[in-house]
Structure 1
């Protein structure tokens, strides 16, 4: 019984010593929160708080003034700037891809008298990637199968020109021109690309609106043009957002081969031109199977990598 009391007292002494030591250790530490290290790309810090990106004082889209003097318009743009610019990984990829694709799209738009700001519509639609939407819209310009033929694109089991950046841009131009003839406003044309010409016309008529900024729509089209504006702002002024991106994706050295007869096997075609089926498909994603039947009068431009 005596030994049990002795063990109990020894335990109390040891426990008290440990508590005392712990208090001394923690009392010597600063009560201030740890300093947050400087954030990476594009984030400003003020007293450990992350501040937002600035909204420009003025902007235009396709030569049309964005009414940023209006509080509602400014706030709608602000939302898209913060949402898109703070998605840093995506922004960096867009800056890299833009170096390869935007000059090409810009030149095609300019040659067809379309305001070059519409290249940012392609960025908003697809991120300049060969994506397929849940609704089965395809490619840079997210063109539906049902409308592809109306604007000159070939779509079948062997060929899908919606995946061709040049051909799909030319098809989008036809749509944009048709929409501009109808609405006379490039900003409304951009909205119509998202919601359809009939949908845009119905909203304008029912609401007696004359401007995109006065149209009440569902969330996607109501944000759509502002997303394009936010992407334009970021891609044209990356330094404002703190982006300093290395290793931009440059245009590749290619040669073009005109194909006007059927191809029995694209693997054989690739080998004959000193490349592989993988490289052929990578550069010509519109090729959908291992062969292609070419009708009389049809011609296809096939890109082949050249050795540098």
Structure 2
């Protein structure tokens, strides 16, 4: 009787174990899938992942300095596609750079200065509350000094060709005095007289070592970051218009590209124009 009971129990145990084993084979396990996150680079990854030597207008930027790396990283992150969610900067660059670049070259201004109107106005013809207007955001007085008509009937600050010529004359005049393109860029934002006062007061002519107001103190960084996201769009999440990587740097057929034929330009760049 006891033997029969033990046999019955053994059979039940075997059946139970077999059922559990079968269930474990056919029932899929829940696997934790790690969430993909966009890494925000710190100063160290910035130095490792990006170019070891950045420059503006062929003047090297001292990458490796903790303060400089922090500012560059912060501004770059702010201009990533994940934050801006728009390709408007790349579209504007594609539309207007072929017009601006030959004029800069004609006046001996470094090509990197084409990023000033992109930072100043987003390459749009508007007027700021302070009175600066046009693609290059000229104040009325400065515009007149460098040959632009500004009156009730005419405002040539809104003309991309004429305002770029005036900007070149202005930039060249400041370089003749300051002898540094990074200082020229800073002076474009602050004003050359105010910048020279700071240079003399601090006895320092290195932009990256000058103590300036927050806007001017980050201005050249913004220009460099704008250069990086336009020239390396995929690196900063701008992957929807891949042809902008190099095409925006080229002159088509060696001549000016008429910005009024923007749909044709867009076709050459293989981007969506709207």
TM-score, normalised to structure 2, is 0.72
Q: How does 1:137-286 map to 2 (within 5 A)?
A: 137-246=132-241, 251-253=259-261
Displaced runs of 4 or more, over 6 A: 247-250
CA-CA distance at 1:172 after TM superposition: 0.7
Distance 2:53 2:35 in 1: 29
Distance 1:167 1:235 in 2: 24
CA-CA distance at 1:72 after TM superposition: 1.2
CA-CA distance at 1:32 after TM superposition: 10
Distance 2:37 2:172 in 1: 46
Distance 2:114 2:259 in 1: 17
For 1:87, the equivalent position in structure 2 comes to: 83
CA-CA distance at 1:139 after TM superposition: 0.9
The answer to whether the 8 A contact 2:186-2:219 is kept is yes
Distance 1:107 1:47 in 2: 47
**Other structure's SS at 2:38 match:** strand
Picking from 103, 111, 119, the partner of 1:116 is 111
Cα deviation digits, residues 154-204 of structure 1 (max 9, x gap): 011111000001111111111101110111000000000000001110111
Cα deviation digits, residues 64-106 of structure 1 (max 9, x gap): 001112111111111111112243234x101011111012111
Cα deviation digits, residues 35-87 of structure 1 (max 9, x gap): 8xxxxxxxxxx844332256323211001001112111111111111112243
Distance 2:90 2:115 in 1: 12
Picking from 53, 59, 62, the partner of 1:64 is 59
Distance 1:142 1:252 in 2: 21
Distance 1:235 1:64 in 2: 19
Distance 2:240 2:127 in 1: 27
Distance 1:89 1:130 in 2: 22
**Other structure's SS at 1:65 match:** strand
Which of the pair is proportionally richer in helix?
Answer: 2
> How many pairs does the alignment contain?
213
The CA RMSD over aligned residues, in Å, is: 2.5
| Alignment pair present for 1:49 and 2:37 | yes
Where do 5+ consecutive residues of structure 1 fail to align? 1-30, 36-45, 255-308
Distance 2:131 2:37 in 1: 41
CA-CA distance at 1:123 after TM superposition: 0.7
Distance 2:56 2:142 in 1: 26
Which of the pair is proportionally richer in strand?
Answer: 1
**Other structure's SS at 1:252 match:** helix
Distance 1:152 1:32 in 2: 69
